[in-house]
Structure 1
Amino acid sequence: MIDDAGAEMTEAAFMFDTVTRAPEPARSRLGAAAVRLGGGVALAMPGSGSPYWNKALGFGLAEPFTPAVLDAVLDFYRAQGVSQAVLQLVPAVLFDGFAQIAAARGLERGNPWIKLGGDPAKVRAADTDLRIGPVPAAEAETWADLLLSNFGMPAGDLTAMLAGTVGRQGWQPFGAWDGGRIVGGGNVFVSGEGAALNAAATSPSHRGRGAQSALIAARAAVAAEAGARHLYAETGKPVGGAHNASLSNMVRAGLAPLYERDNWIWRL
């Protein structure tokens, strides 16, 4: 079992909130659906144009992760008309014989992610020549479009979904501006004593100017003010010695790797 279940549960909470509270009619067009089962959550969005939103996580913490839970997750994706999804599973929660059962059901192991955590009150400050601040409602869609373009995801209904977190309880979206132009952004979700950094991106033209380090510090500060004692984040594990700027920024800010989590990819 992992030492800090809060990391998984906080991420599951913000993903569930993102999908279930997407505004209409965007939510219907995206086919957004989510279900709590087996102690975790499964999310589907077949109309998003991106497999990223078809993901399941948070299993094996509140209750055991079993073959029956695995089958229930896959049944959910079949019912939602999803052709590809990822199950994000901490190796410590897998049941005996998981690899063989997973292979029989068409799952393949993908590249792992690293989960990080730390005290938001101890995150290091960072300097940048860009202006960092909360995203005003008038710029919510511009901010969302910037993030989506950097993630390689289509604007439109996803814009409405992400922009909908501006002003919503539990969320605090931040942006980075060069003059009057928004060039970077990130979000933070606070749930009780846990907070999760998410949705961080900077335009290629403005990378290397400290935007993300400053955005981490700003979001950590508001999380601490909201009462969070634990700040979490995740990013891909570098493959073959490659550099991951997000990982470097988080570690430099004071977050420490907690554990690795495997991505198990399922295709219909």
Structure 2
Amino acid sequence: MPLDRIAELLELSEAEAVWGYEQVAPPEVQESLGMASQRIGGGVVLSVRNDVTNYWSKALGFGFAEPVTAELIAEITAFYRDQGTKLATLQLAPAVLPVDWDAICKAEGLTPGGTWVKLARLAGLVESPRTDMRVGIAGSADAEEWWSVLLQGFGMAELGLDRMAAGLLERPGWTAYGAWDGDQMVAAAALLITGQVAEFVGAATLPSHRGKGAQSALLAARARQAAAEGVKWLSAETGKPAKGEQNPSLNNMLRTGFEIRYERQSWTWRP
């Protein structure tokens, strides 16, 4: 399978994951956060105008249904202007960037942001590491606690996002996982299966329980489900660590057999 085809599978599975997170918010939450979304050019464009984390307004999944052009990027930035978005992130695989990308960035005011690492591996069983925690599927009754743990793990708690993903656990293709220390959920993660790809969507552990094997166990549990459901690829992404620093999430995934497919520069837009 050519690299560009693999990149397409990875990018579109991530785009559907982000779309899913933001489509399940109750109407009153969408209104309070100023949420809006649109599918453009085969990708997704999402705006959360009142998100103080500056994380959830992003556009991704472009360059496969149609090429990335100046007109496409102008349409994306026009959407953000119309929504009153204060900051947005465009994420495009390096293989889809056109030869005139520098000129497009200058015209639209795009500046380099952080770098993400895209990882993938063929589906298969993963040895479950030793941990004293109970790891399993989080059901509907666990929905609020699951989302709360995820937000706390990412440092996004108490920022008006508490009900954003209230209905995610009932959405087709999604499975939520948790790790429990006794009766307390201390780590959370999710899996989205779309076609040939199982997207490992977000994973976080409360600061009090890091370094105890929860994330490695959650990786193994999701890999087992993906293998059982017959998907071909496992897909994940995480931030590239700064020189001299470590990203535990990246290290866990590499130990689990994921391989780095490419690095993806993010592009920041401001009005």
Same fold (TM over 0.5): yes
Equivalent residue in structure 2 for 1:16, among 19, 38, 41? 19
CA contact (8 A) 1:125 1:253 kept: no
Report the CA distance between 1:157 and its aligned residue.
5.5
Gap regions ≥5 residues in structure 1: none
Match of 2:41 in 1: 38
What is the CA–CA distance in structure 1 between the aligned matches of 2:211 and 2:179, rounded to whole Å?
13
Task: Give 3-state SS (helix, strand or coil) of 2:267's partner.
Answer: strand
CA contact (8 A) 1:122 1:254 kept: no
The superposition leaves residues 77-103 of structure 1 with CA deviations (integer Å, 9 ceiling, x where unpaired) of 111110100001112211122113203
Pair 1:78-2:81 in alignment: yes
Report the CA distance between 1:205 and its aligned residue.
1.1
Task: Give 3-state SS (helix, strand or coil) of 1:2's partner.
Answer: helix
Equivalent residue in structure 2 for 1:205, among 192, 195, 208? 208
CA contact (8 A) 1:31 1:47 kept: yes
Q: Quote the sequence identity (%).
A: 44
What is the CA–CA distance in structure 2 between the aligned matches of 1:263 and 1:120, rounded to whole Å?
27
Pair 1:179-2:182 in alignment: yes
What is the CA–CA distance in structure 2 between the aligned matches of 1:47 and 1:123, rounded to whole Å?
40
Match of 2:127 in 1: 124
Tell me the amino acid that sits aligned with residue 242 of structure 2. Answer: V
The number of residue pairs the alignment matches comes to 268
Match of 2:151 in 1: 148
Match of 2:4 in 1: 2
CA contact (8 A) 1:51 1:84 kept: yes
RMSD: 1.6
Tell me the amino acid that sits aligned with residue 191 of structure 1. Answer: T
CA contact (8 A) 2:17 2:201 kept: no
What is the CA–CA distance in structure 2 between the aligned matches of 1:123 and 1:256, rounded to whole Å?
14
Report the CA distance between 1:171 and its aligned residue.
0.6
Task: Give 3-state SS (helix, strand or coil) of 1:75's partner.
Answer: helix
Pair 1:251-2:254 in alignment: yes
What is the CA–CA distance in structure 2 between the aligned matches of 1:169 and 1:156, rounded to whole Å?
27
Equivalent residue in structure 2 for 1:221, among 217, 221, 224? 224
TM-score by length of 1: 0.94
Tell me the amino acid that sits aligned with residue 2 of structure 1. Answer: D
The superposition leaves residues 42-64 of structure 1 with CA deviations (integer Å, 9 ceiling, x where unpaired) of 11111333211100111111210
Gap regions ≥5 residues in structure 2: none
CA contact (8 A) 2:20 2:168 kept: no
What is the CA–CA distance in structure 2 between the aligned matches of 1:109 and 1:11, rounded to whole Å?
20
Equivalences for residues 43-192 of structure 1 within 5 A: 43-155=46-158, 158-192=161-195
Which sits farther off after the overlay, 170-179 or 236-245? 236-245
